[in-house]
Amino acid sequence: MDAFKLLTRSTKLKTGPTQPATSASSRLPSTGKAENPQLFRNSEAEKFLEDKNNGKKRKRGSAVQEPEDDVNLDFFSSNRGSSARSAKKVEEPSSDKEDASHSESEDEMDEVERRTILNAHKIKVTDMRDLEEIQPAQAQGEEEPKKKKKKRKQKEESAAPALTKKEQKKARRLFPRPLTSFKELRSVFKISHRLAENVQEQGFSVPTEVQLGSLPLLLGDRSVSQSKTDEFVEPDLLVVAPTGSGKTLSFLIPVVNKIICHHHAQQDERGIFSIVVAPTKELASQIVNEGRKLVAGTGVKITLMKKGMRVVEREDEDKDALNESGSESSESEGEEDATEKKSKGKAPVTKSDILVTTPLQLVNALTANRTKPIATLPLVRNIVLDEADVLLDPLFREQTLDIWRACTHPELRASLWSATMGSNIEDLAKSTIKERKEVSSLTKSYPLYRLVVGLKDSAIPNIQHKLVYAATEQGKLLGLRQLLHPAAAAASDVRLRPPFLIFTQTIPRAVALHSELRYDIPPEAGGSSRIAVLHSDLSDNQRSDIMKNFRKGEIWILVTTDLLARGIDFRGINGVVNYDIPNSAAVYVHRVGRTGRAGREGGVAVTYYTKEDIPYVKSIANIIDISEKLRGSEGEKSIQKWLLDSLPDLSKKNKQELKKHGVKARQTNLKGVDNKDQRKSKISTKSGFERRMENKKKGAIAASRNRKLQQKPSGADAESGDEE
């Protein structure tokens, strides 16, 4: 298919009969929905589940499949949703009687069955508590005759050091009951009927791996309970799952269901019961949009934190407001007018149940812009950290921990979610939970579990990675133009069709690249309106408008910084271009995760690197190599062993420097960097000679204009003298 015709095609076409798609175009992520959103599937596990369901006489064949979307349809679907949607239509919601009849049989699943399904989907659940806390709990669950406490302590002390590493891992390993279908949310885990209907209306049918493993843990799985009682204990949870695997739905469903149950039990008590913290405004807004679809008709309210919003009633604020208004009104208006001024000047405290916010906005609201001690949130029972590795990074760490400590409820549960999570983040989470327990004796202790899907800190296996050596900045720009021009793209082995994202290291480089590319698309295809730039220096309205137009398909190529690298869900992105090499392997994982979401095949990730980038390439090459091993693709690999062996290793100090500042040659206004290096790093295809000639020509034109302006007043004075 001619790429130029694809660019000139209208995005608002009449839907007609579907045409057979070619093999190349049918693999594009923008061509339609994925048949199955699961990244890791196993024929043995699928056969096991099919036999299990057939034994219950459940009609799996009654589900109606939607026809695949045509290649000629618009790039983005107008009904934007979570990245965990599948192409199958969900059956009509079953009645409560049917749910009750299936609940007893569906709830029966032994450890062998649970282990088979979890291992097939590469799901690993680990108890993160100390062995001293795990082993006594296991001992309570076993039915043994009572013994003296002294003998039990002596036995535990003698057995603890004897455990090898394998035995310790085995003792920590858990096999919770997997969620094989979204119908089980209602039949097995007894979530709200209205919430179950909202989930079905969104089109969810097949749970992804992270939903398959995390939802039972958060909703009421008693198979991992290590006590004799049947009472469910909701744990604190750390989740590491690939990008685009449906983590948003995984933490929203339990939070909404918990609030619904609380409203039924205590109808009078209202306030903020859950807080979701996200690193960017775009991600926070996306979470709110997804949450509103789930809470429709449930009575639960979800709100996006905005500037000036009040979340708590502070006594010191009320006193200050009364004193100020009283002093002003004593001279002129009196006490009644003072109270009126107070009510007009202060915004009401939000009545939301779920508050979605960025760290700085909520901290400012709790501390009155850092002028007063931080206020507390006594009603909050759940705190969710989305993209937790960034929120607990030095950039946001203090703000995030302030919010965590402000939640003083003794039954607070924390859940941390990300596609990449280092051991330092896990240690910080464990220490924060222990610190809360030591500060207050009322704080209760709960299990701390970690759920990992696939290999930890690895890219999704269903996208194609391309590592391209461009030598210089001009080479990168020429290579990028090959992706834009139809004739050049046909000769290249890398084929990338719009829509796609281009990531740069800094804001000035994003602006410069946008100005360089804005006229590359022909006017017949929309011209410069098809390319846009998005960064944090733009206003909130400008950022939201660009995001809206990109989702509609009016913008095809978006140049951006790492602002959009995390959490943002674009359903039809065909690829990602790393114009500047990422600052770390984790950033690479999140950048390329904008494509190939929810199991869609065909996403392409192109990374350009120059001579200055060679010391920083090895970590990214390792990520690509691991991703290809996960995919199990046969044939020639994109990363050869000789390349991995020849690339230099980066020291720990250099890794930290790269993570903070990026490649030194591309940093703007940096002292100590040679001007020649800065000139080399400029984004332009013009040589220095051409630029000098252009500057000379511009200078000559400007000088001639100045001369003409200077001659006009003198000639006018001479004419006026003759007339006199």
- Average pLDDT per 10 consecutive residues for the chain, totaling 724 residues: 43 41 55 72 62 50 39 37 39 46 56 90 90 63 48 51 77 90 90 93 89 92 57 88 92 95 80 94 95 94 91 65 46 47 62 94 83 85 94 93 93 94 92 88 86 88 89 90 67 74 94 88 85 93 93 93 91 90 93 87 89 91 87 67 84 85 75 56 69 80 89 58 51
Q: Which two tokens stand for residue 125?
A: 């659940």
**276, 355 in Cβ contact below 8 A?**
yes
Nearest partner of 247 among 569, 692, 629, judged by Cα: 569
What is residue 633's predicted lDDT score, i.e. its pLDDT?
56
Q: Which two tokens stand for residue 643?
A: 């390349």
Q: Which two tokens stand for residue 276?
A: 């979701």
Q: Which two tokens stand for residue 705?
A: 């204009």
CB count within 10 Å of CB 546 equals 20
CA distance 219 to 182: 13
What is residue 699's predicted lDDT score, i.e. its pLDDT?
85
Predicted TM-score (pTM) of this structure: 0.78
What is residue 349's predicted lDDT score, i.e. its pLDDT?
84
- CA distance readout (Å), 477 to 320, 481, 557, 665, 683: 58, 6, 15, 17, 7
- Quote the distance between the C-alpha of residue 22 and its chain's center: 32
**535, 560 in Cβ contact below 8 A?**
yes
Sheet holding 575-578, edge to edge: 463-471, 603-610, 575-578, 500-503, 557-560, 531-534
Output the furthest CA–CA distance in the chain (Å, rounded): 127
Is 646 exposed, middle or buried, given 0-12, 13-18 or 19+ CB atoms closer than 10 A?
A: exposed
- Quote the distance between the C-alpha of residue 318 and its chain's center: 38
CB count within 10 Å of CB 381 equals 20
CA distance 235 to 578: 38
The verdict on whether omega for the bond into residue 499 sits within 30 degrees of 0, i.e. cis, is: yes
What is residue 456's predicted lDDT score, i.e. its pLDDT?
85
Pick one of 3.40.50.620, 3.40.50.300, 2.40.30.10, 3.65.10.10 as the CATH number of 463-680.
3.40.50.300
CB count within 10 Å of CB 660 equals 11
Q: What phi and psi, each to the nearest 5 degrees, are found at residue 374?
A: -70, 140
Q: Which two tokens stand for residue 108?
A: 């029966």
Fold of 250-317+349-453: Rossmann fold (3.40.50)
What is residue 565's predicted lDDT score, i.e. its pLDDT?
92
CA distance 600 to 86: 10
